[in-house]
Every structure is written in structure tokens, then in C-alpha cells.
Amino acid sequence: MRIDPKIDFAFKCLFGSEKNKKLLISLLQAILGIEIHDVVILNPFNGKEKPDGKLSILDIKARLGDGTFINVEMQMTLVAAYPERSMYYWASLYTNQLAEGAEYTDLARTVAIHIIDDVLFPEIPDYHVEFDIRSVKHPQLRLTDRFALHTIELPKVRMKQEQLSTALDGWCYFLSHPEEMKMEEVSTSTLPAMEAIREAKEALKAMFLTDEERQIYEGRLKQARDALWIRKASRKEGLEAGLAEGRVEGRVEGRVEGLQLAIKQVIVERFGTSGKAWADRVGSISEPARLNELLSGIIKAASLEEFEKLL
């Protein structure tokens, strides 16, 4: 069974387990640009983890030797309000450090890393962007060094293997093209982190999933595919174009049609031809808020019967 390292369950298995700690260290060094001797994984991979719904987060929480808290998250597709969501989860990790009676000075630097198989900032070509908190008028003035957030957009890494020049280039190429990466063609001296990437490829090939783990992986894979269907369907039906039009009628109509088609395609994709009758029922619903609710429901539903309860 071919394992996609971009599926969050596989990503955490690969980088979030104690036996593969050196792979996480190499990845973090490539992203943060610092030397890391050791890392403590605060929520190590546990094959018995059972994500509940599409919004469940299989992230990696870790602490560096200097006390810095790290959160690494792999996302196949963007979700609504992704920047705001990113800030929320960074804030949760930051504020949860503060025990009752502790001082604000006890709060450690907290770094959020979001690796995304989608494009968040189409206006710039850079695939790796780091954010911090600075003065607008005096950008050299940083409010605090406790905050940092990194985004890595994998689709922007369009280089061929022979063009890779940095450790992060190599890791991004591996995540996107694990099967195509030719290890014998690149030396460690040519591409930093190549030895760790080579070990990651071998670990991925040898990754053993129990029946329970396989079910979780396949469930997460299906959710990722469903989310991609939703984005494609919305674009196909002119959802974004409709919202951009000046006429209210055009905005509402485009949104409704896009949501209806997205739900229908997910039903058929997940449950086959037996879902066509339910897809027709969805076509009779025209309220955007109700359709959004049903869209979320069909992704989470374990069966058509469970989805029927929402209709």
C-alpha cells in the first residue's frame, strides 16, 4: 500500500514518533534555520488515536532544548478562515503554558508551522513565509520574540530534483514526490538533510499500519479527497465568481449552485450510486446556511443513514 506522507495521520506517524525523532529534528532545522540537538515530542504518535470528524487535528507538539514550543501541522487543503484559525491554535499553545500563579515572563517562545498542500498566498511566489509581530511604521522594532508562524505552500515548489538547493527544498520535494525522488542522484554534500530524507523515504516504504491504523489512514485520505472535491465543485459552478459579482442575485445563485454540486459529488464519491436519491433531495434546498451545514455533515457522516438525519 502506497502511503502519502501529506495525509496528516501518516505525517505524524513519520515525524511524530520517538523512533523517528531525528527526522523531525532535520525538518525543523530546515524550516527554522537553526541547529537543533534534541527535541521532546509532547504528543508522540499513537496508532490508537481516533480523529473525530474532519476538523480533528493530528499535529505534532514539541519542545526544543531552549524551551521553545513548536507546533507542526500538515494540511492537504485550506479550510475557511485559515489565517484566523492558525492564530487561534498558536494562541492556545501559547496561553496553555501559563499555570495558575505563574508570571507572563514564564511564557516561552511559541512557533507554529503550517505545511499546506494548497496555495494560501497566490500574490507572492515564495513557498516559505515567516511571520512575526513588528511595528508598521518601524518594522525593525519587534514587539516580542515569543511569536512566530511559518507557512509552507507545497504547490509552489515547482523545481525539478536537480534544481533543489536547500534542505527545505529537499523536504518539500520529498513530501510532494516521495516515489519519484531518486536518492542515488543526490549526495549529502550537494543537498543538506539528504541523509535524513533518505531515511524518511525508507521509513515511509517500510511503514507498517495495523488494520486499525489503516482504517484511520484511509478515512483521513477520503476526507482529504472530499475536501478537494468541494473546492473544485465550488470553482466549477462559479461560486467564487458569483460572490465577486456586484448583483446580489448572482452572488446567492452562484453560492447555492456551488454548494449543491459539492454536496452531490461528495455523496456519490463516498457512497456510490445509492446516494443519487439523496443528492436529488439536496437540489431542492436553496438556503446557503443550510447547505453549508449539510456539506459539513456529509463529510463527517459514517453512513447515508446518519446523513439522512440532518435532512
In this structure, the answer to whether residues 172 and 56 fall within a common structural domain is yes
Rg, C-alpha atoms of the chain: 22
Total domains in the fold of the chain: 2
The verdict on residue 134 lying in a domain is yes
| Residue 65 reports pLDDT greater than 80 | yes
What average pLDDT does the segment 121-125 reach?
Answer: 91
pLDDT of residue 238: 45
What average pLDDT does the segment 149-158 reach?
Answer: 95
Q: Phi and psi dihedrals of 186, rounded to 5?
A: -130, 130
In this structure, the answer to whether residues 158 and 272 fall within a common structural domain is no
Q: Are 111 and 152 in contact (CB under 8 A)?
A: no
Residue at a domain's end among 164, 190, 205: 205
pLDDT, mean over the chain: 81
Strand order through the sheet with 128-134: 39-41, 60-64, 69-75, 110-116, 142-153, 128-134
Rounded to two decimals, the pTM is 0.73
Retrieve residue 107's grid coordinates. Answer: 511564557
In this structure, the answer to whether residues 106 and 24 fall within a common structural domain is yes
| Residue 241 reports pLDDT greater than 70 | no
Condensed to tens digits (0 to 9), the pLDDT of residues 251-294 reads: 445 567 777 777 777 776 666 655 567 667 787 888 877 887 78
In this structure, the answer to whether residues 46 and 110 fall within a common structural domain is yes
The verdict on residue 224 lying in a domain is no
pLDDT of residue 47: 66
Domain that holds residue 34: 8-205
